Amino acid sequence: MSAKPLDFVLFASIALSAIPAPAAQKHPSRSELEKIDLHIAGEVSQGKAFEYDIGHGLLFRLATPANAPDAGWLIEVVPKTDPVDGPIEFSEIATPPYHVYNDRCLATACGRSASEVIQLKDRVFYFVQSVDDEHRAEEVVNAAFYPTDTSEEERVRVAAEQRQIRVGKGELRLLKSHVVRSRTIPEVGSIDSIRFEVDFEFAPGLTMADIIARVARPQ
């Protein structure tokens, strides 16, 4: 993705002092080219969680599944301080497809073996950035995909609200991984460790309307 450096050759060997030195070429970094706001890197081993303060009052986590801590990890974005009514997570509501295996899951689930999980090197996820937006996003997703007997006026209001809920974007790339034989299910295997990097965009110009459109018209 980065530009190739230019080779500058001076062919004249006389009066070099009269020739101004070429200005240093500043090549844009990957973050400048792709408008990345934050780049992090890390590694984590089986059964352990990874957590990083990404600013904006948010934490990025690779969390072990509660019911299977050795299965791998789930991508999470959470507030640094839990709300009074309990813990909340910001990426699940904004990262489709819903209720199935998606890019947030780096674990042996839904019939996927450890080797199949790590074959997907690049994982894109989205997240809201406040408790209020998570509640609003949940409302618009339910209205869009799980219709109830709500009034037409309410549906119009919720549809308009989709365009008001801004979402951030993250991309995790697996750099290195180590798979071992599972003692319980040998054919599935187990992910012993991963090394990774993650890029974040906090204002990529996306809203929940874009997320819902991706579900309705998958690429």
φ/ψ (deg, to 5) at 67: -90, -5
Residues 218, 2: Cα–Cα separation, whole Å: 30
State the angle between helix axes of 131-145 and 208-216 in degrees (0 to 180), rounded to the nearest 10.
30
What's the pTM value of the predicted model, to 2 decimals?
Answer: 0.81
Instruction: Provide the mean pLDDT of the chain.
Output: 84
φ/ψ (deg, to 5) at 210: -70, -40
Residues 78, 129: Cα–Cα separation, whole Å: 8
Per-residue pLDDT tens over the stretch 72-95 = 999 999 999 999 999 999 999 999
- Residue 186 binned pLDDT confidence (cut-offs 50, 70, 90): low
Distances (CA, A) of 211 to 17, 89, 94, 137, 154: 59, 17, 7, 10, 20
Question: Of residues 50 and 111, which shows the higher confidence score?
Answer: 50
pLDDT at position 175 over 60:
yes
Q: Can you spell out the DSSP letters for 10-75? A: ----SSGGGSPPPPPP-PPPHHHHHT-SEEEEEEEETT--EEEEEETTEEEEEEPPTT-TTSEEEE
Give the residue extent of every domain in the chain.
30-216
Distances (CA, A) of 30 to 27, 34, 37, 182: 9, 6, 11, 38
